[in-house]
Amino acid sequence: MPDKRLYGTLLWVAVGLTGCAGGNTPSPVDAPGAAKTPTTATTATLEAGAGLMQNKPPLQALDTYLDGFHFYNGRMSGQMEAHHYCSALNEEVFQCAIFDGNTSGAKLMGVEYIISKRLFEGLPASEKQLWHSHVHEVKSGQLIAPGIPQVAETRLMDNLVSTYGKTWHTWHTEQGQALPYGVPQLMMGFIADGQADPQMVRERDRRMGVDSEAKKKARAGIAAPTVDPGADAWQKGEVWQIKDPTGDHSH
Binned average pLDDT, 10 residues per bin, the chain of 251 residues: 48 47 86 70 66 80 94 97 96 97 96 98 98 98 95 95 98 95 96 98 97 96 97 96 76 49
Cα–Cα dist 189/76, whole Å: 9
Work out how many domains the chain is built from and give that number.
Answer: 1
Q: Do 54 and 237 form a contact (C-beta atoms < 8 A)?
A: no
Q: Do 231 and 128 form a contact (C-beta atoms < 8 A)?
A: yes
Residue 212 lies in a domain: yes
Residue 126 lies in a domain: yes
Residue 249 lies in a domain: no
Residue 99 lies in a domain: yes
Domain that holds residue 124: 4-21+44-236
Residue 101 lies in a domain: yes
DSSP 18: T
Q: Please give the angle made by the CA atoms of 245, 107 and 40, to the nearest 5 degrees.
A: 110
Indicate the pTM of the whole model: 0.86
The amino acid at residue 34 is A
Residue 34 lies in a domain: no
Confidence at residue 149, expressed as pLDDT on a 0 to 100 scale: 92
Residue 115 lies in a domain: yes
Residue 246 lies in a domain: no
Within the chain, what is the greatest distance between any pair of CA atoms? Answer: 59
